[in-house]
Structure 1
Amino acid sequence: MGENKMINKQGLTEEQFLTTYDASKYERPSVTVDMLIFTVTEEEKKNYRKLPEKVLKLLMIKRGDHPYMGQWALPGGFVQMNESLDEAAGRELKEETNIDDIYMEQLYTWGDVARDPRTRVISASYMSLVDSSTLDIKASDDADDAKWFTVSCKLYQEQKTVTEKGHILQRLFKLSLSNEEDILSAIVKTVKTVEGKVTKIQREIIESNGIAFDHAKIIEYGIDRLRSKIEYTDIAFNLMPELFTLTELQQVYEVILDTELLKANFRRKTADMVTETNEYTKDAGHRPSKLFKFNPNWTNISE
């Protein structure tokens, strides 16, 4: 880029303006990144003839210091002045959990004024889907623990009010996170206001038990995005090993969407996304099933 020679109202060139610019003129909020790391794992088999149940899990960090000491939070931390948001997310993930080099996408920026009791903190949230069998998770020094929680988010109340220009849809979601030692929960209210062509969605935490900051809201939003993206992208394959059966793939879709799918419909919908291999499962108690792999050259033809 060439130097800008234009003169502003004060008679300064861009170079002169920048040398005299006072960065303290505006207060600076702190910026953090928070990561939603999802995986799908199999619960222990109680009966070897039954296929193991799959569950959606989320990685959480137990806070080792104030604020919210002893509560569970998403992995994350403060962005440094010399790094991008993406770089900060990658660095924090490596520092806090020992996870390296995974795909992450930025979801949303959270900026409520009082969301952090320390100071004004704006957070960019990221989402990642991982095959947990390939990961070695460990907690960092300033965290007490890093653990996978089985996560569910269920709609349990809905109310629609018709207005003059559209409608208001209020929903209450029950968020539950659990493992062998801990049970966390929250209730998140979403209010969708439709006025003509304009739609607004607001989220509010009604109650939160054991989940730090406003992270219950971030988790509910992340699951909502995950459910919509799985319908039209290949995001689910980040959760799969290299080779898998079509039944395993369907189970992953079902656990994320929290609904049973018709086998024929599912196989038709995902036919382009997979490639058949010549390999089969070797599993005691079951007939061998053909193994498939992801087809990176599939084309998304929306129905």
Structure 2
Amino acid sequence: MIFTVKDKKEENYRKLSGKSIKLLLVKRADHPFIGQWALPGGFVSVDESIDEAANRELKSETNVEDIYMEQLYTWGDVKRDPRWRVVSCSYMALVDGSLFDIKAGDDADYAGWFDVKFEVFEEKKTVLEKELVFEKSVKIILSSEEDTLEAVVKITERRRGRSTSVKREIVNSRGIAFDHAKIIEYAIERLRNKIEYTDIVFNLMPERFTLSELQQVYEIILGRELLAAAFRRKISDKVIETNEFSKNAGHRPSKLYRFNPGWKYM
């Protein structure tokens, strides 16, 4: 799956543009789930590795290549594909969406970006004799100018001694093909966790950016507001100040920064 961040449209040109996180989906042209939206993907050939297959499918279905991509998880529930037994290896990619010409592949009508909203609306902890059970329900809303998709995913984590098991199940889903709502939920959780201790977020940023723009991206991914002073202290080693300024109309120019690839060694 491919995530990007884009500016929201603002009617008032003097107002700073907000940001929204977007997910790329393809509309299925074939059965099963014809007409529904799915994550880009395909089957592994006998003469290629899983990584090679992921890159090939990324290019063929979306016209995107040479971007940050990491393997997430392997999904192997029985009957997750109504045609036959399918085991899927999911990947997450992060990209500046303005740099690529997105297109659909042979088995899709077309590809499009969807705004992502992610909300934990129910949490519960149960203490049993020999285990702890943590349950939460997550609502995912994916919206574009054409369509709005929704799903609720329930996550159950069981801790017995030093052993932990996690189960995800789709409570309901509208417009999202296969079990892809579970895969999307897992990817968002991973992204939220990783931006706290890695530089992964900079794959979503242009080469030059303001600190306010960077903070907005952190906030929309984490789902909460951050104190500007504390945020700037936290990311100070990861950015390098330039001598350039933003040229947005309607408000004062801001200093531009770039990613510091050597921040881990400072």
Amino acid at match of 2:241: E
Structure 2 residue aligned with 1:98, among 63, 71, 74?
63
C-alpha distance in structure 1 between counterparts of 2:53 and 2:8, whole Å: 33
Structure 2 residue aligned with 1:224, among 180, 183, 189?
189
Which residue of the partner structure matches residue 274 of structure 1?
239
Query: Is the counterpart of residue 182 in structure 1 residue 163 in structure 2?
Result: no
C-alpha distance in structure 1 between counterparts of 2:156 and 2:25, whole Å: 27
Amino acid at match of 2:114: F
1:232·1:300 contact (CA, 8 Å) conserved in 2?
Answer: no
Amino acid at match of 1:293: R
Structure 1 residue aligned with 2:259, among 294, 299, 302?
294
How far did residue 300 of structure 1 move?
A: 7.5
Which residue of the partner structure matches residue 88 of structure 1?
53
Query: Is the counterpart of residue 52 in structure 1 residue 17 in structure 2?
Result: yes
How far did residue 100 of structure 1 move?
A: 1.4
Which residue of the partner structure matches residue 124 of structure 1?
89
How far did residue 164 of structure 1 move?
A: 2.2
Amino acid at match of 1:149: F
Amino acid at match of 1:298: W
Alignment of 1:95-244 (within 5 A): 95-244=60-209
Identical amino acids, percent of aligned pairs: 64
Structure 1 residues 19-62: Cα deviation after superposition (integer angstroms, max 9, x where no partner)? xxxxxxxxxxxxxxxxx100010110121121111111000000
Structure 1 residues 223-260: Cα deviation after superposition (integer angstroms, max 9, x where no partner)? 00000001000000000000000000000000111110
CA RMSD of aligned residues (A): 1.1
Q: How many residues align?
A: 266
C-alpha distance in structure 2 between counterparts of 1:196 and 1:262, whole Å: 38
Which residue of the partner structure matches residue 3 of structure 1?
none
If asked which structure has higher relative contact order (CA below 8 Å, sep 6+), I would say: 2
Structure 1 residues 103-130: Cα deviation after superposition (integer angstroms, max 9, x where no partner)? 2100000000111011100000000110
How far did residue 141 of structure 1 move?
A: 2.6
Helix, strand or coil for the counterpart of 2:264? coil
Amino acid at match of 1:125: S
Structure 1 residues 180-217: Cα deviation after superposition (integer angstroms, max 9, x where no partner)? 11010101000011112222111000111000000000
C-alpha distance in structure 2 between counterparts of 1:300 and 1:266, whole Å: 20
- TM-score, normalised with respect to structure 1: 0.86
C-alpha distance in structure 2 between counterparts of 1:44 and 1:281, whole Å: 18
Which residue of the partner structure matches residue 221 of structure 2?
256
How far did residue 175 of structure 1 move?
A: 0.7
Helix, strand or coil for the counterpart of 2:42? strand
Amino acid at match of 1:119: W
Larger Rg: 1
Structure 2 residue aligned with 1:74, among 39, 60, 70?
39
Which residue of the partner structure matches residue 5 of structure 1?
none
1:107·1:126 contact (CA, 8 Å) conserved in 2?
Answer: yes
C-alpha distance in structure 2 between counterparts of 1:60 and 1:141, whole Å: 14
Which residue of the partner structure matches residue 246 of structure 1?
211
Helix, strand or coil for the counterpart of 1:38? strand
Amino acid at match of 1:206: V
C-alpha distance in structure 2 between counterparts of 1:46 and 1:70, whole Å: 33
Amino acid at match of 2:162: K
Question: Where does the alignment leave 5 or more consecutive residues of structure 1 unmatched?
Answer: 1-35
How far did residue 89 of structure 1 move?
A: 0.5
Helix, strand or coil for the counterpart of 1:101? coil
- TM-score, normalised with respect to structure 2: 0.98
Residues 38 and 300 from structure 1, CA distance in 2 versus in 1: closer, same or farther, beyond 3 angstroms? farther
The farther-off stretch of 243-252 and 190-199 is 190-199
Amino acid at match of 2:65: D
Structure 1 residues 269-298: Cα deviation after superposition (integer angstroms, max 9, x where no partner)? 100000010111112211111000000000
Helix, strand or coil for the counterpart of 1:165? coil
Which residue of the partner structure matches residue 42 of structure 1?
7
Helix, strand or coil for the counterpart of 1:202? strand
Which residue of the partner structure matches residue 6 of structure 1?
none
Amino acid at match of 1:108: Y
